[in-house]
């Protein structure tokens, strides 16, 4: 069911500062910031040869990232994203095995313009998992 690792997401308290660190200090290619109001975040992607790193900053007070940063003020790893061929089939298979899909269980459009779902971290060794349809 799982395809390749799409990205690792890091929550940051200051997106501009984190972007500069990756771009200027590490010499990484970094995308322009993209606001995703449906997800409550602003993101940038750091392009690597084999995957991406997503930097997430809260967009509004109701952002789930704001809660994460309240517990982790310096930021930290937030989730991993894996690719799947058919997100609805993956969701149904996971739910049948007892995994919890967050939200209403329906895919939403993510930062790459593709359907995504999030899986409860308590079901995956304490790690929030995002699935993205390719």
130 is catalytic: yes
DSSP 8-state symbol, 101: B
What pLDDT is stored for residue 9 in this prediction?
98
Model confidence, pTM? 0.94
Q: Which residues of the chain have pLDDT under 50?
A: none
Tokens 């690719």 -> residue = 83
- Print the domain residue range for 96: 2-133
* Token pair for 35: 């606001």
What pLDDT is stored for residue 47 in this prediction?
96
The answer to whether the beta carbons of residues 113 and 39 sit under 8 Å apart is: no
Helix (H) or strand (E) holding 34: strand 34-36
* Structural domain count of the chain: 1
CATH number at residue 74: 3.10.180.10
Catalytic option among 57, 83, 130, 132: 130
Which of 57, 59, 53 is closest to 15 using CA atoms? 57
How many of the other CB atoms lie within 10 Å of CB of 18?
Answer: 20
């Amino acid at each position: 069911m799982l395809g390749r690792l799409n990205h690792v997401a890091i929550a940051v308290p200051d997106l501009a500062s984190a972007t500069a660190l990756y771009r200027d200090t590490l010499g990484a290619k970094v995308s322009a910031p993209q606001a995703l109001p449906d997800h409550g975040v602003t993101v940038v992607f750091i392009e690597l040869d084999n995957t991406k790193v997503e930097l997430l900053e809260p967009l509004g007070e109701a952002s789930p990232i704001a809660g994460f940063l309240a517990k982790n003020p310096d930021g930290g790893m937030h989730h991993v994203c894996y690719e799947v061929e058919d997100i609805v089939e993956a969701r149904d298979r996971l739910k049948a095995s007892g995994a919890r899909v967050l939200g209403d269980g329906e895919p939403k459009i993510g930062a790459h313009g593709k359907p995504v779902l999030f899986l409860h971290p308590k079901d995956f060794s304490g790690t929030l998992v995002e699935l993205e349809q390719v």
